[in-house]
A and B are shown apart, each in its own frame.
Chain A
Amino acid sequence: DSGVTQTPKHLITATGQRVTLRCSPRSGDLSVYWYQQSLDQGLQFLIQYYNGEERAKGNILERFSAQQFPDLHSELNLSSLELGDSALYFCASSAEEGSVFPAEAFFGQGTRLTVV
């Protein structure tokens, strides 16, 4: 058990809909990362938050947004969903300060999103 909790585990929704994925980092970890893993794109970094502030942005679509709350949990919002958004979405957390490459990141089990 990595200590990172993601909910829900599975999500099936229709095109055009909006969903929210939730991540609770390991206790004490200030950095949260979101990744998308799809069959055709592999594992892609989306966005990173550190102590409530956005720190780095990767290949995140404009239809997607994220935030980190004062209690350090994070949510990834996906809107106007398309079939191609079907993927595994992973959250990871790290104890290290945001400006330093984390020596270790702990991953949640992921949320499997299926858009039909």
Chain B
Amino acid sequence: SQQGEEDPQALSIQEGENATMNCSYKTSINNLQWYRQNSGRGLVHLILIRSNEREKHSGRLRVTLDTSKKSSSLLITASRAADTASYFCATDEDTDKLIFGTGTRLQVFP
């Protein structure tokens, strides 16, 4: 399969809690991106981390990358009901293609 894998597949939390999602991939990469998708709608780019970076922040988002373990994590702090969505990681291959993981469905309850 060309896809990476996100873990967990689904996550339910209360507002205010932190949500952590993990992504594993198989090949060497130059970049890894995280996307968000509201139910049945287009993807929205959240953050990009390059292979020479270990951690990146954007607002309530924190992304880490461990190239030795071929894994990345996305942390959403102080979650809100509006964060309810599916979250995908995407990696590049040797050409300019985005290869997506299977996604984590996040449900944030008010």
Contact = CB atoms under 8 A, between A and B. Distances in A.
Interface string B65-99: 00000000000000000000000100010011111
A19 B88 CA distance: 28
Is the contact region of chain B dominated by helix, strand, or loop, or is it mixed?
Answer: strand
B98 A42 contact: no
Contact of A101 (B31, B40, B43): B31
Q: How large is the interface on B (under 10, 10 to 19, 20 to 34, 35 or more residues)?
A: 20 to 34
Interface of B: 2-3, 30-31, 33, 35, 40-45, 48, 88, 92, 95-103
A86 interface: no
B95 A2 contact: no
A31 B96 contact: yes
Contacts of A88: 40
A111 to B, nearest CB: 11
B41 A110 contact: yes
Q: How large is the interface on A (under 10, 10 to 19, 20 to 34, 35 or more residues)?
A: 20 to 34
Contacts of B96: 31, 48, 50, 55-56, 94, 96, 98-102
6 contacts: A45-B100, A59-B2, A90-B42, A94-B96, A109-B42, A110-B42
Given A43-B88, A103-B48, A109 B41 contact: yes
Enumerate the 3 nearest inter-chain pairs by beta-carbon distance, A residue then B residue, closest first.
A101-B92, A43-B100, A107-B42
B102 to A, nearest CB: 5
A95 to B, nearest CB: 12
A45 B92 contact: no
